[in-house]
């Protein structure tokens, strides 16, 4: 499927040429976000042989329009219901949807943009067992134009509250009893959600990642969020900030590994709360070191009306060789 570069950023208008060959299977998640259509709409007509359109049942009323638009883009499509609240239901639905993989090698394109962080992480595990070494999997991510559309910098929000904190299915880690916790948070917009996570875990060490290549607005917001969390630093013996690239999954994995090495005597729990690309980076880190656990804090509510606008840039990368397929 075209270039063998690990990771590329390109305009959406160039995606179709970049992909080049026919796509045997296209996976995406329908969402209330307009950019759930961006990757799909950028593909050449007829390029996709079969599509599986996932959608979270909890948002059915809000995503219907985009779901139907995706279905009409891909006549040979299948719709698969997953759940933002029930990871086991999601895992089973994903495995079932991917179970019809043929024995011949496939070109697979996955639009990771609009899965929840947890949904994406589960999907990566489902891909591991459903696809084979000869399948070629490309991941694509459509960057947002603006988040929390129309809100002032200090008022921007994407989700609020924490309904439940749980480990992500497939990333249980090896949590040794009696050891303290090293919490690694890849911070996005929601400082209060991060604060809740820190409060719940009472970790020995807190490492907060701040994205260094967020959008201008995102960068300003990150500074505010870091300040909010730094107020907590007096309560924890070790509280530090580090930077990471929110568009370079391999780079994120490397940074996480480095942080892990600094506190090998502690249990490491990672909360990826930034872009889906950085969540993918966390997954890569855990493939290398399965002793690390990935956690997920399910929000109470989402800023459905004004979550984001679609940008005109996307990121494309091959699935890491660390994800050994057919296992």
Partner 1 sequence: MASNEPYSNPFAVQTPEGMSAEDVISLFVEELTDFHQVPKTSHTFINGPRGSGKSMIFRYLEPDCQSIALSRPTSELPFYSIYVPIKETELNITELARLTEAHGNFVINEHLMTINIAIKAVASLRKNSSITDDNAMASKIWTFYNASVVPLLRQGGADPAPALPPLEEDADAAITHIENTLLEIYAVVLGYLRRLAFPNAQFSYSGPLYGYLDFLKPFLKGMRSHELIPPAVPIFLLIDDADNLNLEQTKILNTWVSYRTTKDISLKLSVQQTYKTFKTATSKTIDNPHDFSMVNIYDIYTSQKNKYRSRVEKIVEKRLRLHGINVPPHEFFPPDVSQEKAIAAIKEKYKADWEKNGRGARPQDDADRYARPDYIKGLRGSSKSGSTYSYSGFDQLVHVSSGVIRYFLEPASLMFALQKSLKPARQVTRIEPGVQNRVIREQADEFLFDQLEKLARDEDDPTAPNRIRKLRNLIDGLGALFQGILLSSAAERRVFSVAMSDAPDDDVRAIFDLGVKHGYFHRSTIGNKEGTGRTDLYILSRRLAPVYTLDPTGFAGYKWVTNDFVRQAIFSPKRLARLIKDRGVDQAVDPAQPTLFDGLEKDA
Binding site for partner 1 (CB under 8 A): 61, 87-88, 91, 95, 125-126, 128-129, 155, 157, 160-161, 165-170, 172, 174-178, 180-181, 192, 199-202, 204, 231, 233-237, 239, 267, 269, 290, 293, 295, 300-301
Q: Identify which of residues 65 and 202 has a Cβ nearer to partner 1 in the complex.
A: 202
Residue 107 or 148: the one with the smaller Cβ distance to partner 1 is: 148
Count of alpha carbons within 13 Å of 33, Cβ hemisphere only? 30
CB of 187 to partner 1, least distance (A): 16
User: Which backbone phi and psi does 197 adopt, to 5 degrees?
Assistant: -60, -45
Q: How far is the CB of 160 from partner 1 (least distance, A)?
A: 6
Minimum distance of partner 1 from residue 6's CB (angstroms): 26
CB of 73 to partner 1, least distance (A): 27
Report the distance separating Cα 32 and Cα 41, nearest Å.
16
Q: Parallel, antiparallel, or unpaired for β 293-302 and 7-11?
A: unpaired
Q: Which is nearer to partner 1, 200 or 243 (CB)?
A: 200
Q: Which is nearer to partner 1, 170 or 209 (CB)?
A: 170
CA-based nearest residue to 205, from 188, 180, 187:
180
Q: Is 46 left (phi over 0), alpha (psi -120 to 50) or beta?
A: left
Q: Which residue's CB is nearer to partner 1, number 110 or number 140? A: 110
H helix or E strand, kind and range, residue 223: helix 216-230
253: exposed, middle or buried (C-beta count within 10 Å: 0-12, 13-18, 19+)? buried
Report the nearest approach of partner 1 to the CB of residue 12 (Å). 31
SS3 107: strand
């Amino acid at each position: 499927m075209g270039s063998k570069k690990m990771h590329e950023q390109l305009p959406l208008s160039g995606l179709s040429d970049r992909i080049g060959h026919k796509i045997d299977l296209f996976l995406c998640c329908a969402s209330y976000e307009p950019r759930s259509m961006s990757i799909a709409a950028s593909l050449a007509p007829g390029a996709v042989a079969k599509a599986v359109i996932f959608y979270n049942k909890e948002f059915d009323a809000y995503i219907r329009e985009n779901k139907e638009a995706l279905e009409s883009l891909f006549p040979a499509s299948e719709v698969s219901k997953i759940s933002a609240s029930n990871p086991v239901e999601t895992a089973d639905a994903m495995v079932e949807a991917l179970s019809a993989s043929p024995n011949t090698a496939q070109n697979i394109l996955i639009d990771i943009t609009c899965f929840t962080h947890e949904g994406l992480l589960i999907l990566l595990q489902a891909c591991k067992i459903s696809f084979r070494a000869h399948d070629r999997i490309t991941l694509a991510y459509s960057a947002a134009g603006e988040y929390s559309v129309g809100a002032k910098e200090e008022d921007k929000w994407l989700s609020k509250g924490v309904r439940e904190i749980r480990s992500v299915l497939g990333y249980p880690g090896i949590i040794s009893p009696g050891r303290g916790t090293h919490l690694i948070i890849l911070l996005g917009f929601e400082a209060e959600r991060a604060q809740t996570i820190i409060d719940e875990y009472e970790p020995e060490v807190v490492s907060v990642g701040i994205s260094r290549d967020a959008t201008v607005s995102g960068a300003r917001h990150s500074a505010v969020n870091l300040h909010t969390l730094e107020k907590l630093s007096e309560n924890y013996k070790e509280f530090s900030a580090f930077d990471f690239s929110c568009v370079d999954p391999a780079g994120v994995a490397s940074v996480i590994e480095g942080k892990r090495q600094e506190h090998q005597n502690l249990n490491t729990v990672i909360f990826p709360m930034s872009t889906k690309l950085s969540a993918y980076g966390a997954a890569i880190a855990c493939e290398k070191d399965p002793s690390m656990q990935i956690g997920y804090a399910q929000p109470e509510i989402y800023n459905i009306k004004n979550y984001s606008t679609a940008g005109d840039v996307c990121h494309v990368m091959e699935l890491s060789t660390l994800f050994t397929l057919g296992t």
